Structure 1
Amino acid sequence: FSLDEIAILVRATHQMRAFEDRFLTIGLPYRVVGGPRFYERMEIRDAMAYLRLAVSPSDDLAFERIVNTPRRGLGDKAQQRIREAARAEDVPQVVGAARLLEAGGLKGKGAGALRTLLSDIGRWHEAVRAGTPSHVELAEMILDESGYTAYWQNQKTPEAEGRLENLKELVKALEGFENLQGFLEHVSLVMDNDAELDEPKVSLMTLHAAKGLEFPAVFLPGWEEGLFPNQRSLDESGLKGLEEERRLAYVGITRAAELCTISFAANRLVHGQWQSQMPSRFIDELPEDHVEVLTPPGLYGGGYGAAGMRGGAASDLEARAARADAYNSPGWRRMQAAAANRSLRQPAEARGLVVDMGAAPAFGVGDRVFHQKFGYGTVTDVEGDKLDIDFDKAGAKKIVARFVVAAESATDVPF
């Protein structure tokens, strides 16, 4: 299949973030159908503005975006006064706003709310400099203390739930970075990589946006209880909600003209904690005669799940997937070759194991490495488990060694 013939359909918009980040890292062209990209969504831009102010209070564009978001009684006239005060003294708007308050240039509810906001920005900035709490906890604290999370919780609009899920996904994305600065640099790179080239692209969209469309190959990830069917839909609408979710499942499956691949995660990282997931009930409802099971080898080796244990002829789906361009990478071929040689037996218990407590560094100066967010780079210095790396596209950064792999191993991911 060419990239134009492949679509990934998700239940909720927040599921797109991981795909977008990964596609940009490996340079795979994609398009988001039916809405903006993850980092272009209104709530994500607002949240990012708060995070940028915590790192750099002199960021005037970020300040202008959130000074009255959520509403603080600071209308256009009040914001104009702040800009004029800052321009008159050639200082950032945060400083201009503080001096305007000192001079009594703003009164009433708006003045009190602005004073609180400026105090919060200063406190968040000190937390960034001190490194405590962690950048993930700080991001959650900023969204809560600013009133932005509560703003969407109090909204009764249909899209409010989705926006809250997107904010949770944004905080989750921070877990892959050492600090806020590194995350903001990554997002800047993502947003800069928006060239609309006339080339084949994978289509990424929600199940709702896919109605009426059709693709030769369709991937349906995240078929897990609570995610799909959506738990909130079940809680609020009961059986009616379940039937609507089942209709969405039907929509997703019937978008595929030739090949439909459904997947679910056995474990998912939620709020920093790994949680076991149950496969969606919709998977059990699929007719057996029309389903072939193709799962990666388990922890202790063996074949492809239930399909590998049946014996007999190999799965036609497996053969077709091996021939498909999307799965024809060296890593995928190595995984397939290794699967045939794996034993179904579990490994024997290791006895007499000696552990060297003084572990040697995994990488040395000059080694080529790969980072999931920043791509390829060269190690320039090693200090314990921290590496100074000069990335080809993202520049120089300090990275914990466990977050990178040797460059020659980067293709082991089956893309």
Structure 2
Amino acid sequence: PRRGIGEKSHLVLKKEAAVEEQSLYEYVRDVDPKKSKLPARLINSLKTMVTNIEITRKELQKNKEEFPKILEDMIWSTGYQEHLLKEEDGDERNDNVKALFEDIRHFLKNNPESSFDEYLQNIALLSAQDEFVEGDYVTLMTVHTAKGLEYPVIFVIRLNQGVFPNDRSLKEGGVVALEEERRLAYVAMTRAKEKLYLTLTMDYSHVLQRNLLPSQFLKEAGNEILVEQENIFRSSSRGAKSQQGLFNDGDHLSFDDEASDDSKQTVIVEACNDVKDWNVSDVVIHKTLGRGVVTALEGDDIITVEFDDHGEKSVLGTHPSVAKGGHAA
């Protein structure tokens, strides 16, 4: 709601905030109503709104698992619903707000241990699919841009330690940054409808000052390195050294004229647990999450499991960390 603030009042607020070198939010929070050129009634109305926001922030920190209800209470307490219903398209806009809360509740249901910050990070990855037009061509995009999109074939490139996950991010953000990189890797790998290609380089990185190694996300995603062998790259004046790698990019990438005849190539294949099918009420034994019971089959080998100690989660039924433990009574 506008709270009686027109263009002129807004301009006055901006000027007063600029003098104090504060944002509008900070200025409204800190200003003495007597020192503003605007009516005290108007300033106090804004201060009430800011106070509600501050209280909501503290509640979100204390009760992270209740954030959908906290946010909904805050929005409606501001009088926003009454404001919307006065508009010509008020019912539709009100439904949009309700849909937002429903989306938040759905996210929390599927990610029960997530916080409001993680929800915001998730929606920040969403992109407007209308910007992409289907056609017979290759689309190059970042992982962030790919969120919400799907393609029959996906290539995720440069899955090297230090690149993805990114070295600089890990140094600056530690464990939190690693979790964010891992989440992005998950986003990248789940964009494929039919085929997923995970690639990396065997090159020497002058930025990292070392030979590039496979990303930890390859094994974490359930892939297994069957054969590890020497790379065709050889030492040279440029500093490239012999290393282990997963793919042979071709003789044209060798620093010497000839590649070793006995150079070998590492092969990655998807690992699975040999469980052919799951049924509701099957007992699941997960290496990390422990015991649980299948409550639903989502398709594409995804099963919904109610874990004894971790609640309901969706897991890949063919993942090597998952085993079948019989049938619940």
- Could you say which TM-score interval applies, normalised by the shorter chain? 0.3 to 0.5
TM-score (structure 2 length as normaliser): 0.40
> Higher helix proportion, which one?
1
**Larger RCO of the pair (alpha carbons < 8 Å, separation 6+):** 1
Whichever of the two has the greater Rg, that structure is 2
TM-score, normalised by the number of residues in structure 1: 0.32
